[in-house]
Structure 1
Amino acid sequence: MKQTDTKKLTLFALTWPIFIEILLHMLMGNADTLMLSQYSDHSVAAVGVSNQVLSVVIVMFGFVAAGASILVAQNLGAEKDKDAAEIAVTSISLNLVFSAIISLVLFLFSDAILRLMDLPSELMDEASVYMNVVGGFMFVQALIMTVSAILRSYGFTKDTMYVTIGMNIINVIGNYLFIFGPFGVPVLGVEGVAYSTMASRFIGFIILTFILIKRSNKMLPFQSFYRYQKRHVVDLLKIGVPSAGEQLSYNTSQMVITYFVAQLGTIAITTKVYVQNIMMFILLFSIAIGQGTQILIGHMIGAGDIDSAYKRCIKSLKISIIISTLTAIVVYLSSGPLLSIFTNDLSIIEQGAFLLLVTVILEPGRAFNLVVINCLRATGDVKFPVFIGIISMWGVSVTFAWFFGIFLGLGLVGIWIGFIADEWLRGILMLRRWRSKVWVKKAFVRS
């Protein structure tokens, strides 16, 4: 499989399809929230807490996809097409085995996991149903992540975007049928949303697999699916495990913070879900820029072009900070109408609007992490972000969230103070790491 000529690609050419794809993934989640909000605020809270747990699991699946994305890009930059293809197929096989085991655990122990979250009793039934259905089939999402990462590393970012569009259409149609019950369709609420989510993902995976085979001209080394090469597996784990470790630490710390929020009551949980759904539209710019930059830097590192890689990161960071700050301001100024889309509860709207004001301070700090960490990963410097991340997320974010939010009684505002301190501390440290150029010695591939 020959990649798109990334030497001729600009950051914009790589990033805009990624941006649309991520936007559509977010819209899929927001479609669930928005459509369920017409059904019940309790249902929104139940799905929100369940997704907090599932987001941790998705990160666990992501370690193979992350390793594949970086190694494929570096090998393509070094013109080692055969190794790139072998790594791609091996990563799909590894993630299938791992994700199937995790999916079984989620299905069998969903109630026990939710009880650990100290979920209010009135939310337990719906959260359990959602966790059983979506969690039990999470291996499909793992495969989607892996195949999509491979296609993006080859430069086929538009392919994954088009598939995501189709998945969103299927998901929204399914939600409409099961939530509102037209044409005599049974109203299933949260259960119906879960079925719709999994159906759209399954169809999306089938189409992505077809595209991967077509793009490869049926020349992928499928023997690598069951016959692993030790060096490929070792390299995948060396990059993938630390890369996912930083995200796993983040999502696990978010679970603990959600536990704190649960102590504040159902209204606080619902407010957090609505606000963070809106915030996702702010940070998607930085996510897309970070992922597009990672692909470019991976190819540059593989080709040995260190100077271009360094400059690309700094330029992307500046773009991301400007866009995320301006977007956060616009979102705050529109906070009333935006929150009113989800709820008519004035207390939720008022508190949510203030949290979106505080978010104007939060988002530039988050831009540092979303861009620079992806740049460090692309070079193979993956352990430092994990080390700093664990210290900051737990020592700052979780600790501050408890101290300001629970101990001092500031509620969700206190939680947001913890978020801000964590993002800015990590961001500044990541930028210092990039400027030091320690990462030059970390690359896995040499041309």
Structure 2
Amino acid sequence: MSDTKNTNKAAKMTLFALTWPIFIEILLHMLMGNADTLMLSQFSDDAVAAVGVSNQIMSVIIVMFGFVATGTTILIAQNIGAKKESRAGQIAVVSIIANILFGFLLSIILFFFGEQILTAMNLPDELLGTAVIYIKIVGGVSFVQALIMTLSAIVKSHGFTKDAMYVTLGMNVLNIFGNYIFIFGAFGAPVLGVTGVALSTAVSRTIGTIILFVLLYKRVNGDLPWSFLVKKFPKKELKDLLRIGIPSAGEQLSYNSSQMVITYFIASMGTTALTTRVYTLNIMMIAFLFAIAIGQGTQIIVGYLIGEKKNEEAYQRCLKSLWIGMSVSTFAALIFALFSEELLSIFTSNQEIIQLGSLLLLLTVILEPGRAFNLIVINCLRAAGDVKFPVYIGILSMWGVSVTISYAAGIWLGLGLIGIWIALIMDEWLRGLLMLHRWKTRKWERMSFVDEQEIEEFKIDTKREVK
């Protein structure tokens, strides 16, 4: 694919064209988790709580995989915008190999030390055995998730967001079919419960990875110089990926770690509180996926614009996307709050869980606009190269506000999950307003990962390789 072709393609990209497939893809990912929860709820509420805590650990692992994927998305977008197609291909190759190796390492850790990690999270004894089975199976093949994230990032950065959507759709169908077989014993299969859900998840993700490799070959293989790794150690490419990825992952890792501590607090409140949180989060995730999709689509566009040195267009694009994301996600939260009892009744008949979950969904109407700031503006800051500021502010707010007030309000004052939700609202709004202020200062204009000197150096290196 030529530089001109990619540049023209980038110019034609609109927020809607990029975002709607991402929206469907994320929705399908969330529905996969919801399907597991819904189908397991017919088996046992305890099983739901055990898988929910295990997935809390998996979310931290996914963030650690995401540091390479995040750097990949931004660097490919900026380099295509700057007409450096060959460099974008080199970054893609390095990111694939790096996440494969990193994924194998974390898979080994989860398989052999999953029980110790779950025990450290204060998981009730009646849930531990079930959670260990799930974490060993799903965590043991978590390197597959690392590949999915990296391959998807490459494909989407080149504008093929529909491909990632179709793959996720296929994984959902396979996962639900596998759940049906192993939870309900369809077609004479044994009833395996959580074990069956874990196996279904692992198999569907593995097949999805294979399909993504095929799509990668068809869509952008001409731009991926695999022989590049044989010629030299990719020091420059790894350095650039880490410059973006480590700070970006730091912010996400801090968030997920703080959520694990909060889960520890909730675990001390009992299985009912844990289960309520799992059901409520499954519904909430659908509400804020609008902002997630808009944030990811905006990140790609801003990356292209920064690479093309169109800073004013990038500035305005972020602000427009922010207001769109806030409006849509808040509207969705209102709908779910109005029909909270009906939605929670899909998962459980326990009236205590339904009443408490309804109160949490009402508070979510206040939570979602603040969350939109972080999901959209932070993505724009990263796309522009400003990756450290969100980490510093995030760590201070997540631990100084979210964790501290969760303990004070939820445990010390005895407000339970209501106190935890109040802490989350304060954290999201504080970080969101600070991120918006940072964007408006425009300090990010001096932080692009593609500068004129680097372009000239790359041209010289390319000419040498040709000779």
TM-score between the two structures when normalised by the length of structure 1: 0.99
1:317 to 316, 322, 330: 322
1:192 to 196, 205, 223: 196
Q: Secondary structure of the residue that 1:318 maps to in structure 2?
A: helix
The one-letter code matched in structure 1 to 2:433 is I
Could you tell me the percent identity over the aligned residues? 63
Partner of 1:342: 347
Is 1:140 the equivalent of 2:144? Answer: yes
Is 1:112 the equivalent of 2:132? Answer: no
Partner of 1:84: 88
The 8 Å contact of residues 385 and 447 in structure 2, kept in 1 or not, is answered as: yes
2:39 to 13, 35, 39: 35
The 8 Å contact of residues 48 and 273 in structure 1, kept in 2 or not, is answered as: yes
Partner of 2:308: 303
The 8 Å contact of residues 66 and 239 in structure 1, kept in 2 or not, is answered as: yes
Partner of 1:386: 391
Partner of 2:12: 8
**Further displaced range: 380-389 or 229-238:** 229-238
Question: Per-residue deviation at 1:215?
Answer: 0.9
The one-letter code matched in structure 1 to 2:213 is T
Partner Cα separation in structure 2 for residue 53 and residue 145 of structure 1: 17
The 8 Å contact of residues 85 and 223 in structure 2, kept in 1 or not, is answered as: no
The 8 Å contact of residues 68 and 149 in structure 1, kept in 2 or not, is answered as: yes
The one-letter code matched in structure 2 to 1:182 is A
The 8 Å contact of residues 86 and 223 in structure 2, kept in 1 or not, is answered as: no
The 8 Å contact of residues 339 and 352 in structure 1, kept in 2 or not, is answered as: yes
The one-letter code matched in structure 2 to 1:201 is R
Partner of 1:162: 166
User: For each residue in 1:373-418, what CA deviation from the matched residue of structure 2 results, as whole angstroms up to 9, or x when unmatched?
Assistant: 0000000100000000000000000001000000000000000011
1:235 to 221, 225, 240: 240
Partner Cα separation in structure 1 for residue 147 and residue 345 of structure 2: 36
The one-letter code matched in structure 2 to 1:147 is L
The 8 Å contact of residues 90 and 224 in structure 1, kept in 2 or not, is answered as: no
Is 1:46 the equivalent of 2:74? Answer: no
The one-letter code matched in structure 2 to 1:93 is I
Please list every run of at least 4 consecutive aligned residues from structure 1 whose deviation after the TM superposition is greater than 4 angstroms: 1-4
Partner Cα separation in structure 1 for residue 276 and residue 229 of structure 2: 45
Question: Per-residue deviation at 1:309?
Answer: 0.1
Question: Per-residue deviation at 1:223?
Answer: 2.2
2:219 to 215, 227, 238: 215
The 8 Å contact of residues 89 and 225 in structure 2, kept in 1 or not, is answered as: yes
Partner of 1:438: 443
Q: Residues 357-376 of structure 1: matches in 2 within 5 Å?
A: 357-376=362-381
Q: Secondary structure of the residue that 1:381 maps to in structure 2?
A: coil
Question: Per-residue deviation at 1:218?
Answer: 4.5
The one-letter code matched in structure 1 to 2:125 is S
Partner Cα separation in structure 2 for residue 378 and residue 225 of structure 1: 26
Is 1:149 the equivalent of 2:153? Answer: yes
Question: Per-residue deviation at 1:217?
Answer: 4.7
The one-letter code matched in structure 2 to 1:293 is T
Q: Secondary structure of the residue that 2:11 maps to in structure 1?
A: coil
Is 1:402 the equivalent of 2:410? Answer: no
Is 1:121 the equivalent of 2:125? Answer: yes
The 8 Å contact of residues 69 and 149 in structure 2, kept in 1 or not, is answered as: yes
Question: Per-residue deviation at 1:219?
Answer: 5.0
Q: Residues 57-72 of structure 1: matches in 2 within 5 Å?
A: 57-72=61-76
Question: Per-residue deviation at 1:324?
Answer: 1.1
Partner Cα separation in structure 2 for residue 310 and residue 50 of structure 1: 39
Partner Cα separation in structure 1 for residue 95 and residue 187 of structure 2: 43
User: For each residue in 1:68-123, what CA deviation from the matched residue of structure 2 results, as whole angstroms up to 9, or x when unmatched?
Assistant: 11000000000000000000010000111111111101100011000000000000
User: For each residue in 1:192-245, what CA deviation from the matched residue of structure 2 results, as whole angstroms up to 9, or x when unmatched?
Assistant: 000000100000000000100111255521124564321111110000100111
Partner Cα separation in structure 1 for residue 42 and residue 220 of structure 2: 44
Partner of 2:27: 23
The one-letter code matched in structure 1 to 2:91 is I
Distance 1:306 1:218, change over 3 A: closer
Question: Per-residue deviation at 1:273?
Answer: 0.2
Is 1:416 the equivalent of 2:421? Answer: yes
Partner of 2:457: none
The one-letter code matched in structure 2 to 1:123 is L
Partner of 1:271: 276
The 8 Å contact of residues 406 and 423 in structure 2, kept in 1 or not, is answered as: yes
User: For each residue in 1:175-194, what CA deviation from the matched residue of structure 2 results, as whole angstroms up to 9, or x when unmatched?
Assistant: 00000001210010000000
Distance 1:217 1:408, change over 3 A: closer
Q: Secondary structure of the residue that 2:227 maps to in structure 1?
A: helix
CA-atom RMSD, angstroms? Answer: 1.0
Unaligned residue ranges in structure 2 (runs of 5+): 453-467
Question: Per-residue deviation at 1:144?
Answer: 0.3
The one-letter code matched in structure 1 to 2:84 is K
Q: Secondary structure of the residue that 1:145 maps to in structure 2?
A: helix
Partner Cα separation in structure 2 for residue 243 and residue 219 of structure 1: 26
Partner Cα separation in structure 2 for residue 73 and residue 322 of structure 1: 27
Partner Cα separation in structure 1 for residue 281 and residue 224 of structure 2: 40
Partner Cα separation in structure 2 for residue 206 and residue 42 of structure 1: 34
Count of matched residue positions in the alignment of Structure 1 and Structure 2:
447
The 8 Å contact of residues 332 and 357 in structure 1, kept in 2 or not, is answered as: yes
**Further displaced range: 58-67 or 222-231:** 222-231
The one-letter code matched in structure 1 to 2:394 is G
Distance 1:219 1:378, change over 3 A: closer
